[in-house]
């Protein structure tokens, strides 16, 4: 089973950003930042997943996945991972 382990919440990116460790790594990346933010037009929110380092530094601003809504678990599930505490 592919698992995403929550490492840290409330990153500098925003209150809804969190760092996860992926097992197994995805495309050579063991850590991702999942960030949720409101759309500028007020029509809802997006959750994006970015490659990251163990210190939560985003390695690429090109998202691995984008999902409508605020559910980190649903965004990670779109990549085949289940969140574990």
Q: Is the pTM of this model over 0.85?
A: yes
- pLDDT of residue 73 exceeding 90, the answer is yes
Task: Give the pLDDT score at 79.
Answer: 95
Grade residue 16 by pLDDT with cuts at 50, 70 and 90.
Answer: confident
Dihedral over Cα of 37, 41, 44, 47: its sign? negative
User: Token match 């530094």: residue?
Assistant: 57
Total number of domains in the chain: 1
Task: Give the pLDDT score at 55.
Answer: 94
Class of residue 14 by CB neighbours under 10 A (exposed 0-12, middle 13-18, buried 19+): exposed
- Domain residues for the domain of 55 are 3-84
- pLDDT of residue 13 exceeding 80, the answer is no
Cα three-residue angle 2-9-12, rounded to 5 degrees: 125
Average pLDDT of span 11-16: 77
């Amino acid at each position: 089973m592919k698992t995403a382990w929550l490492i840290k919440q409330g990153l500098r990116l925003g209150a809804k950003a969190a760092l996860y460790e992926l097992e197994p790594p995805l495309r050579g990346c063991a850590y991702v930042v999942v960030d949720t933010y409101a759309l500028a037009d007020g029509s809802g929110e997006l959750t994006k997943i970015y490659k990251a380092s163990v210190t939560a530094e985003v390695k690429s601003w090109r998202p691995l996945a984008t999902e409508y809504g605020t559910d980190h678990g649903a965004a990670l599930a779109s990549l085949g991972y289940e969140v574990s505490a």
